[in-house]
Chains A and B, each alone.
Chain A
């Protein structure tokens, strides 16, 4: 054998080594402790192996005050706590406050639970709570959650060792969500918080986060995973799982392969168009639930030709909502929307059936091409026109629905160019005063009946709502929603304001969305609904 062949032999050996190394499973086969092990995770979170949750996307910080996307909320809700939280039905429950009273929803006095320990061993005090609220109110320190503390919050004070009082400028029933972990409050110890905030390491892999909840973050690698272990000193008893790990995926196909391999127990928000493939995984269960999300069109009445109500009506009539929902776009996984808020958003005050009935009474336009044509003919753009609609790349269904709408509009002489743009660009376009028509996509986190309505119907003018719409009557109704002393008092102005907005075709709701989850054989999930993953200690819903 000549030396050249020996060289080739060495390379062949290298290949063989790689394959043997792979076959031996590297260094951690099957220990279940690291993301992506070749053996099934198989953990139910009780026997040493973590319960693995595969999520699409990633989080960059454990500090909700900094980053507060919907994924952050899902993950944080097993760990961080506010004065109140929600149960599995969306009802407010006491958490770090064992009780509270609100004087006409204006002066809120919270009696703090005694003996609650932070994970670092410190006992929670009123000073910690006041510091956490004041931090959350500061937009520069808490860009993610400061919106929950609008200017109507006048003061936050420790009024006794076990009492915190928050005074508002008037009644605001919705304020309760601000101090919940579905809204804007995640209580951390003051001394630790000040220290890590100063260093810029709060919520980072280095310092993680310190709170009081059932699961303690143990390891965090942005883009890879975050691991939690049970808090043995949790004030509400022993958590049912010993360890939970969230694995982050950028590619949906990889997540499906990992689920097929058995590398994860539970997958959140699987894509609707892939759900059939997920369901084919042996023993897997796929559940769809209404997730309260809103997908609809927003018209800016200051941008031509959408400054003409007939034009807006023509477009509204051309939206074939039923086909979008039941056809190939959503495949039945959604509901044709009649209003802005989904029926489940009213869960704290009424049943879904009752809410559906109320929301059906809101003025809305069903698909009717004859009426669309007539409206366009009555408009100042009777000859048709060309316009553009953009949609964020993260929501392909909005793109498909736009194309369906473009097809319909073409029949009456309107050319609608559909463009996919990056999410950040789309967010920047919302309410920028340049788009005549655009998508609004909203995922509520709180069970606040007016969460979406208080923004979309805030008709004080440019900058206050995504349509830059001005309507004094609706602006007053929105003030009524915001200053309602009870949730029940919010419903009537929401319905009335929403009706006016849709009558004037400022908004054209298209669908209320559904979310799909998948979990492996042998796992039971009880009473899963749109509030479950925001409820306190949601892992307790799983049994094996």
Chain B
């Protein structure tokens, strides 16, 4: 129990250090990037140097780097992430509705990715060398290679405009059925782009398990094929879980283009807009929030993998003996 607790504490510490480092890096990058929020607010209108100076003063833009960063950290520690330069609203209030939309989209897409990734990965592994294996690999390759905005436009043209199955844009009127309907096509589009990873990992992991002695033994004992496949999936679950964490990161990254194509008012759209307007507090908050989500998901995945397969916990926290690890004892059947 103590080792489990230590493991969790270590992961939490890594998580906090990662966030602080990330905050510093993002703040530095925005600081050195060319662009002046005061000028962006005024646009090409005739602003005197005095007027621009007043706007900069309001947002503390002329302060030295560490003063600005320190002020931001102090505020963040007190739950105040600043004011959006573009909208003039508190960042948390400004970002919250966008975050909700993106989390719904990503969750929807993650569920689809896991379902289709596992299914096609298993089908591909079980049919190694057969046409279905080739077809799945080819489709997965297209999904990985094609830019998601291009896939999005093709999907929109076929499924929304021509077939009329889905709406073209927006998130609907707020009821869950309408939201689901509006998010379905963008979620499928995102899924198409990231599922290849789960398919490939599932296929590769499963092929290793198929070759193992216990699989031969189970087949020889005439155990039902589904039970054998289930056992193989359980034993191959560690890399599959890990790939799911990666997929989550890719999904958040993919939302920027997909939200733009489907006119979804999510974090991706907001982030792109904030970058255009050099809205530093908003960029900083979104980046950290996404990083937190990805770090958290990664930690959850690692912990889950550790509990599924104790071998992956590292030397100090290893639960089974080395001998057991060598023989494969303790693998789930």
Contact = CB atoms under 8 A, between A and B. Distances in A.
A140 B55 contact: yes
A455 interface: yes
A14 B89 contact: no
Contact of B165 (A11, A14, A23, A61): A23
Contact of A60 (B45, B58, B272, B273): B273
Contact of B160 (A69, A261, A441): A261
Nearest to B149: A251
B217 interface: no
A147 B51 contact: yes
A430 B44 contact: yes
A261 B162 CA distance: 9
Contact of B184 (A22, A37, A200): A22
A257 B168 contact: yes
Residue from A18, A36, A221, A442 whose CB has the most chain B CB atoms within 10 Å: A36
Contacts of A541: none
A427 B87 CA distance: 18
Contact of B263 (A37, A139, A247): A247
A261 B160 CA distance: 9
Contacts of A150: 48
Contacts of A31: 173
B67 interface: no
B239 interface: no
A258 B273 contact: no
**Majority secondary structure, B binding face:** helix
For B87, B176, B264, the residue with the greatest tally of chain A CB atoms inside 10 Å of its CB is B87
B161 interface: yes
A427 B43 contact: yes
**Interface size of A as a range:** 35 or more
Contacts of B171: 35-36, 224
A175 to B, nearest CB: 14
Interface in A3-50: 3-4, 6-8, 11, 14, 18-19, 21-23, 25-28, 31, 33-38
A351 B327 CA distance: 93
Contact of A224 (B86, B126, B265, B276): B265
Given A247-B170, A249-B169, A147 B47 contact: yes
Contacts of B312: none
Interface string B251-271: 000000001111111100110
Interface string B153-174: 1001101110011111111111
A162 interface: no
A241 B266 CA distance: 30
A394 to B, nearest CB: 8
Contacts of B54: 139-140, 146
B121 to A, nearest CB: 12
A424 B156 CA distance: 31
Contacts of B277: 424
B191 to A, nearest CB: 11
A26 B161 CA distance: 16
Contact of A35 (B48, B49, B97, B263): B263
A383 B40 CA distance: 38
Contact of A257 (B157, B178, B224): B157
Enumerate the 9 nearest inter-chain pairs by beta-carbon distance, A residue then B residue, closest first: A26-B181, A36-B170, A223-B265, A3-B226, A455-B46, A35-B170, A27-B177, A34-B173, A27-B178
9 contacts: A4-B122, A35-B171, A69-B43, A140-B55, A147-B46, A254-B156, A257-B157, A424-B278, A425-B34
